[in-house]
Structure 1
C-alpha cells in the first residue's frame, strides 16, 4: 500500500492504529457525514460521492450516495491510490488509466469512468481515506469544484476529530461515574460490614466474659477470637468486601499445624467462595472448633488429626453448603457439662445468623460437626 516515492513518515501499522482511534469503522450513518456527501455531489455535479476509509482488508464508507453499498474489497478501491497521493487526485477516464482499467467497478457495473478524490489526512499527516466523487462518463472538475471538494474533505476530518473528542469525553465521564458508583458501594459496604463487626465484637466480649473465670483467660480467648475475625475480614477486603475462599478461611485456623511432619488436617472440597455474611460466621465456627480441638480434642495429642470436608448441592433451585468437621485419633470425647461460647455459636448462633441446620455429635472416637446452610449469592448491602 505504501508509495515509496513519497517517503511517508508513518508506517501502515501506525496508520491503521490511527484510523481505529477514531472509532468510526462500522458505525451507523450520521447526518453530519451524510450531508457532506450530498454537498459534494451537488458542488461537483456528480451522481456518486463517498467518504471512504481504508483498513487492512477493505474500503468502508462512512457515508455514500449513488453507489448503494457500504464497503468494497481493497482490490476494487480507487481511493487506496488517491489516499497515498498529496492533495487532490483526479482521473478523467478510469478506463484509460492502467492503474484502474481492469477494476471491476470500471469494467462491470456500475461502469465508473470519472474519479476525483481529496485525501482525508489527520493533523499529523496520516491518511485515512478519501472524500471522492465519481461519474459514469469521462469528465473533469472546474477549479471551483476542486477547491470545494478539498474544503469538504477538511470538514470530514473536522467532524471525525470532533466525533472522537466527544466519544473520549463520554468515556471519561462514564469511567468517572463508574468510579463514583464503586466508591459509594464501597462506603455502603464498609458501613454495613463495620456495623456487623462491631455487633460481633460486642457479642464476643459478653460471651467470652461469661465463659471464662479469670482476666488472663478472658484476654487470651477474646484476643484469639478477634484475631480470627480479622483474618476472615482480610480475605474479604482482598476481594472488594465481596467473597472469601472457604479453603483459605479454614487454612487461617489450621495453618499452625501445616508444618507438622505427620499430617494433622485434611481439607477436602471444591473451590468455593463465601459471601461476607456467610464467611464471617463460618470463620468463627472453624476457629471455635480448632480451639476446642487444640485444648481437648484431636489436635491436643501428636497422633490426632482433623478432616474438614465440604460440598455444594443445588436443591430446589438454590445452592446449599454442606460442611463437616471430623476429628480422629484424639482423647475419648464426652459431652461438656456446661455450654460455653463455642457450643453456643455452633448450635444457636449459626442457625439464627445463617439459617443453617447444624448437628454436633460428641462421639467417643472424635467430635463430629455438620452444617448445612443456604449459599448467600449476593452481598447483603442495605439500600441506605
Structure 2
C-alpha cells in the first residue's frame, strides 16, 4: 500500500506541473546549490550530501558532495520516500536492517550505504525534491535539532529555486507576456474591459489583450497610435479624436462612444491625461474601453437595463481608472503596469459577472465570497470556513466588497495563512438591525499561517481595502495585524 501511495505522489499531475514550471532545466547541475549540499554534509558529519529534484522517473542532482553521479532512478532512490512522506522528512538509521532497503545495490555493494536523512523541498505546497545526507556507518539516533536544520536548508533551497524561477521569467519577456494574455482572458470574457496607455510624444499605445482584440489589431502590446485611430469607423473618427483633444486641453475626463470600422462593434471609452511636462503639455493619456454592442442592439427591456448598466459601468470605470492611476504611480513600465493591474481588474470583473447574471439586482454573499476566493486556494472546502446568515448584496456593495476580499486574499496568499498548505481563512457574516436598517458585520480571520507583523508603512493595497467601500455610506473596514493572523472587521449597510 505504501509503494502505491508513493507512486501516486510521484506521478501526481499537480506536483509535476509545479516542478516542471519552476525548474525546466532540472537535469543540469547548478553550482549555486553547492554550498547547501556542503552545509548539510558538515552538519551531519556525513560523507555524502545531495540537493536533488524528483520527477516521475528520475532523481536529478542539482548539487552533490561525495559522489560524481548526476541522477538516479526513482525506484532505487531513498528520496522517493521523503517526497511521499506527509511530514516531509524521512530517516533511515541502518539501511542494512531496513527490509525496504537492505537488498539494494548501493547497500549491499559499494559504497555500502547505511544512514540516510532527507527533508522535502516544497514549492507551492508540493514536494519537488530533497536535501539529504548519507553515511556508510549506521547511527543509533538523530538529534531533532539536526532534522530542524535540515528542514531549514531545504527551505533555503526552495527559496533559491523560486528566485531563479522569477529571474528566468523576467528574462523571458515573450513567455511572460503570453502567460499574461492568458491570465487576462478571463477578464475579457467576464467584463470585456480594455485598458490602454497612450504615449503622446512617442506616438505609441500600450494596451492589454482585450483592447487589442476590440480594435481588431494584432496581439502586440505596443502599437502606433495612428494604427489605433485608423481602426475606428470613419464616421466616428473625427468626433472621437476631437473629444480626446478637448479633454487634454481642458484637463477633463474623456467620455465617448464609437464604432470599430471592420467589425462595426460599439465601444465605450473613458480616460484622461495622466501626466504633463513642465510646460503643461500632455505626455501620457490613460484610458479604458468596454464593448457595448449588445446593449446598443438590445430590445426595449434590455435598453432599460442598459441605462442602469451604463450608470454602473461609468462608476466602475471611474474606480478602475483610479486603481490604474494609483498602480501606474508605482511603475512607469506599461508591461509591469498590466501585470499589477490585472488582479484588481479580475476582482471587479468577477463581481460584474455575478451582477450581470442577476440583471444587476442583488446577489448572495456566499456567491461573491466563492468567486473571489477560489482562485487563491487549492482546496476551497478545507481552506475557507464560512459561518453566515443569508445576505443579499446590491451592486455597490458587491463591487466594493469584492475588491476588499480580493486584496485580503492576495495578501493572505503572499504573506498570510494561504501561503502555507494548512492555513485557512474563517469568515463570519451576520446581518443585524441597527437604527432601523440592516447592516452586514463580516469578520475575516486568518488561521494557521506564519506569524504576522504589522507593516511599517501602508501600501496601496491597504489604502484600497479601507476605501473600496467609500460609495456605501456608513461602511467601514478595520484591519488588525494580530500575531496569530490578520483579522479584518467589515461593517456594510445593506
Bigger CA radius of gyration? 1
TM range (shorter): 0.3 to 0.5
User: How high is the TM-score relative to the length of structure 1?
Assistant: 0.48
Greater relative CO (CA pairs within 8 A, separation 6+): 1
